[in-house]
């Protein structure tokens, strides 16, 4: 089993680099968003964003052991939920920037959180796409002596 995991990692090193990026950014969001997410337009932290990011990172970590594409795609879907939850939370802020004409512009914190979430999500997706599925590879036929 351990050999299979190692083999999986070895053969999918690029995929796991993407997954690593996804995990790192998802975990970063778990800390960065609660620290910077309370703004004039968002008086409370939306726990869904943290929860989905954490689940996404957790699934990403599991994918190191479970070499299925599907696991990484699940991480992507959770990342997508986190991203969409953030979009929902900030919709009035974004609307204000486009309609308010009061000088409010996109803050660095908003832009970074947005980028972290979207890059994490895409990293999991790319990791899944380029993953070679060694689990379903046929065992090579035994050599005849």
Partner 1 sequence: MNVIKSVKLWRTLFVVSASFLAVALVGGQIAYDQSAAINSAFNLKTYEVIKGDDTGEDTEYFKREYTDPEKLKAYTDSVCRELEREGMVLLKNENAALPLAAGNKISLFGQGSVQLNYGATGSSSTDTSGIANLKTALSSFEVNPTLWDFYQSGAASGYRRGKPGLIYKMNEAPWSEYGSVMSSFSAYGDAAIYVLSRDSGEGMDLSTVNSDCEGGVYLNLHANEREVLKQLSALKASGTFKKVVLLINSPVPVQLDFMFDADIDIDSALWIGNLGSTGVYAIDDVLSGNVSPSGRLSDTFLKDNFASPAAATWGLNANKSFALPYSNAGDYPGFNNTQNTYAVYTEGIYVGYRYFETRYADVLMGSPRAGAFDYDAKVAYPFGHGLSYTDFYYSGFAMEEKEDHFLFTVDVMNIGGVKGKEAVQLYLQKPYTDYDREHGVEKSAVELVAFEKTGELDTGDSETITLRVEKEQLKSYDANYAKTYIVDEGDYYFALGSNAHNALNNILDAQGILTADFYVDPTLVATYHQAAFDKETYSHSPVNKEQAITNRFDFSDINKYEGRGSNSVTYASRNDWEGTFPKASEILSISPAMEKDILSYKPLPENDGSTMPTYGKDNGLSLISFRSTPSKPVPYDDPKWQDLLDQMTFAEQALLITDGQHNTSRVTSVNKPATKDENGPNGVSGSSTKASFPSEGIWAATFNKDLLEEVGKCLAEDALAVGITGIYGPGVNLHRAPFGGRAHEYFSEDPYLMALCSVKETIGMQSKGVVTYVKHFVANDEETNRNGVAIWLNEQEMREIVLLPFEYSFRPDMGNAHATMTSFNRIGCLWTSASSALMETVLRDEWGFDGFAITDMASSNAKTFMTFVDGIANGTSLYDGAGSEKALDDYHNNAFFANKMREACHRILYVTANYSAAMNGISAADRIVPLITWWEATVIGLRIGFGVLSGATLALMGVAAFLRRKEIA
Applying CB under 8 A, the residues found at the interface with partner 1 are: 39-43, 69-70, 73, 76-77, 80-81, 84-85, 87-88, 91-93, 95-96, 99-104, 128, 133, 136-139
The helix (H) or strand (E) run that includes residue 65 is: helix 47-65
Minimal distance, residue 17 CB to partner 1, in Å: 20
Taking the C-alpha atoms of residue 52 and residue 133, their distance in angstroms, rounded to an integer, is 26
Name which of 32 and 93 has its Cβ closer to partner 1. Answer: 93
Taking the C-alpha atoms of residue 70 and residue 131, their distance in angstroms, rounded to an integer, is 10
Minimal distance, residue 96 CB to partner 1, in Å: 3
In the three-class reduction of DSSP (H, G, I as helix; E, B as strand; rest coil), residue 145 is classed as coil
In the three-class reduction of DSSP (H, G, I as helix; E, B as strand; rest coil), residue 126 is classed as helix
Name which of 91 and 145 has its Cβ closer to partner 1. Answer: 91
Name which of 139 and 145 has its Cβ closer to partner 1. Answer: 139
Minimal distance, residue 27 CB to partner 1, in Å: 20
Minimal distance, residue 127 CB to partner 1, in Å: 12
- Cα→Cα distances 82→17, 48, 131, Å: 21, 7, 23
Tokens of 37: 């997410």
CA 98 to chain centre: 28
Name which of 136 and 145 has its Cβ closer to partner 1. Answer: 136
Minimal distance, residue 69 CB to partner 1, in Å: 6
Name which of 56 and 145 has its Cβ closer to partner 1. Answer: 56
Contact criterion met (CB below 8 Å) for 60 and 19: yes
């Amino acid at each position: 089993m351990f050999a299979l995991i190692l083999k999986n990692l070895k053969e999918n090193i690029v995929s796991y680099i993407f997954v690593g990026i996804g995990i790192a950014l998802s975990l970063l969001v778990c800390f960065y968003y609660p620290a910077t997410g309370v703004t004039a337009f968002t008086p409370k932290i939306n726990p869904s964003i943290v929860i989905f990011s954490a689940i996404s990172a957790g699934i990403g970590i599991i994918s190191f052991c479970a070499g299925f594409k599907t696991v990484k795609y699940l991480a992507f879907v959770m990342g997508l939920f986190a991203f969409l939850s953030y979009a929902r939370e900030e919709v009035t802020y974004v609307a204000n920037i486009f309609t308010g004409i009061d000088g409010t512009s996109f803050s660095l914190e908003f832009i970074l959180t947005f980028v972290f979430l979207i890059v994490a999500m895409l990293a999991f997706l790319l990791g899944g796409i380029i993953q070679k599925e060694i689990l379903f590879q046929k065992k090579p036929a035994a050599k005849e002596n």
